[in-house]
Amino acid sequence: MSQQLGRPVRDVVGVAARTLDGTPAVVATAPRLADGTPFPTFYYLTHPTLVAAISRLEAEGVMRGWTALVEPGGPYAEAFAAAHAAYLADRAAAGDVPELAGVSAGGMPVRVKCLHALAGHALAAGPGVNPIGDLALAEAAAAEAPVRALVGRWPAPAPR
């Protein structure tokens, strides 16, 4: 994972997801770093091919349009709120950090901010947990054969 990132990993509590060939794709990071710093991003995307594909989506500016999907009344609002709660529960299982109470990652539960965090959560939790992470992975897999080789044809979420 350090090789994937080009720097030493820090405070990793485990590999949260692997590609189809078994290569680490997402790490789980301690909610409090060794130096005492609170760290809200529990799931961290590490695989360079996946990072690059998600970066391309971010560069296209999809977050603005996708935020409307998770706003109150949006087709993914309830599922995104549930993803937020699931993320918080996963992180809490690794340690309680009062400073992070109610704070997850990626803009959850009301906006889309960091697709890397959301895609990492989707890979770690599996399809159907994080609708925006699922959407990002589905878009990346549909557009790029190297991503499909790593995650398969990721299912896009069904709007409600």
Query: Dihedral of the CA atoms 108, 114, 120, 126 (nearest 10)?
Result: 40
pLDDT at position 16 is 97
pLDDT at position 155 is 95
Which residues in the chain land under pLDDT 50?
none
Selection from 37, 39, 6, 42 nearest residue 27 by Cα: 42
- Which pTM value belongs to this model? 0.94
CA distance 136 to 58: 9
Give the three-state DSSP class for 6: coil
pLDDT at position 140 is 97
> Hey, which bits of the chain come out as E strands?
12-18, 24-29, 43-45
